[in-house]
Amino acid sequence: MLRRSRGAVAADGLSDRCLDAETIAAWIDGDLQAADVTAAEAHVSECARCQAMMAALVRTAPAVGARVPWWRRGWIVGSLVPLTAAAVALAIWIAAPNEARRAPADRPDVNAVNAVNAVPSVQPPPSAPAQQPPPPQIADRIQPPAARETRSTADRRLQRDAKVETTNEERRDQAAAKPAAPPPPAAASPAPLESARAATAEIAPMRASALSKEAFALNQIASPDPSVRWRIGPSGSIQRSTDGGATWEALTSGVTEDLTAGAAPSSTIVWIVGRSGAVLLSIDGRQWRRLAFPERVDLVAVRANDATIATVTTADGRTFRTADGGRTWSLLQEF
C-alpha cells in the first residue's frame, strides 16, 4: 500500500522536507521531540505526498478494540448473581432464629390454654372443707399497701384502748384500796420564808465581794519589786499592795471608766489604760493623773519604758506611742 501510494504521487512532488520512513515510524511510535512533531505536522498539512503516505499508514494500522467498562463485562455480571443469592440466604438464616424465639412469647401455648380452660369444669366434691384463711404474715403480703396500713392502724388503736382500759381499772382498784386521805395541814408559818430571805440578803454582798476580788485578780500589774503590785477593775477601781498581795489598799483614780490593762516599769511609775481612751499615769504609785488621748476608743494594752515613753494598743489593733509623758501621741504604721 505504501508502494502504490508513493507511485500515485508525481515524482516531482518530492522535496527535502518530506518525511522519510524512519521519521514517520518514530512519529507513530511517539519517539519524536516536540519540535520535530510540530515541524512534521506543519509539513504534512501542505504536502500531498506525505498526506498519502500517512493515509496509507492509518489504513494499515491494526484496529484497536473499544474498552468495555468493568461492570458490563460478562464474567463480572455472572459472578454477581450467585453472590447476591448467597447474601439473601444468609440474611434469611440470621433472621429465622429470632422469629423462632419470638414465636413462643407472642403465641400462647395451646396445651396450657386447654389446661386452664379445663380446670373450671372440675367441680370440687361437696364434702371438701372450707378453705382456711392464710396466716397473718401471708395475708399482709397479699393485701395492698393501703389495706395493710389500715389494718396496722386499727391494731395499734385496739392495743392502745386495751392499755388505757387496763390502766383505768388499776387506778380504780388502787383508789378503792387506799384509806381516806388526811386533811391538809395548816398554812406554814412565814417565819422560814423570812429566814431564807435574810440569808440570801447576807450572801449577796459576800458573793459580790468574791466576784470583785476575782476580777481584780485577773487584772494585776506587777512591778520589778515583787512586794509592790496593783490591781485594777471596773469603774476606775485601783488597789495597791506593798506586801506581795497579802493586803490591799484602795486608791482614788479620778475616773469612772473600766480599767483594762497596765504596766509598771518601776515600783513607783505605773501606766494604766481603759475604755473610752482612758490613760492614767502615776509617778509615786499612789496618786494618778489622767492624760489626754487623741481618740475616745477602748484601750486594751500598754507597754512603758519609763514615765515619758509608752505605747498603747486600741481594741481595733492600732498602736499609739508617746515620748513626752502623754502630751502628744503618734500613730505607728505596721508593715
- Whether 330 has a pLDDT exceeding 60, the answer reads yes
- 318 within some domain: yes
CA distance 167 to 36: 136
| pLDDT for res 277 | 93
Domain stops at, among 36, 60, 84: 60
pLDDT category at 19 given cuts 50, 70, 90 is confident
- 197 within some domain: no
The CATH number of residue 328's host domain is: 2.130.10.10
Overall average pLDDT of the 110-124 stretch? 52
DSSP 115-175: HHHHSTTSPPPTTPPPPPPPPHHHHHHHS-HHHHHHHHHHHHHHHHHHHHHHHHHHHHHHH
Task: Specify the length of the chain in residues.
Answer: 335
- 309 within some domain: yes
| pLDDT for res 199 | 54
Helices (H), 9-70: 21-29, 34-44, 48-60
Binning the chain into helix, strand and coil, the percentages to the nearest 5 are 50, 15, 40
Overall average pLDDT of the 34-41 stretch? 85
Of the given ranges (79-93, 149-163, 184-198, 260-274), which has the lowest mean pLDDT? 184-198
Overall average pLDDT of the 129-149 stretch? 53
* CB half-sphere exposure, 217, CA atoms < 13 A: 9
- 220 within some domain: yes
Parent domain of 24: 2-60
- 211 within some domain: yes
| pLDDT for res 218 | 55
Helix (H) or strand (E) holding 176: helix 145-177
- 242 within some domain: yes
pTM, full prediction: 0.38
**How many domains is the chain built from?**
2
- 311 within some domain: yes
- 90 within some domain: no
Q: Could you read off the pLDDT of 145-184 as tens digits, one per residue?
A: 555 556 667 777 777 877 777 777 777 777 666 555 555 5
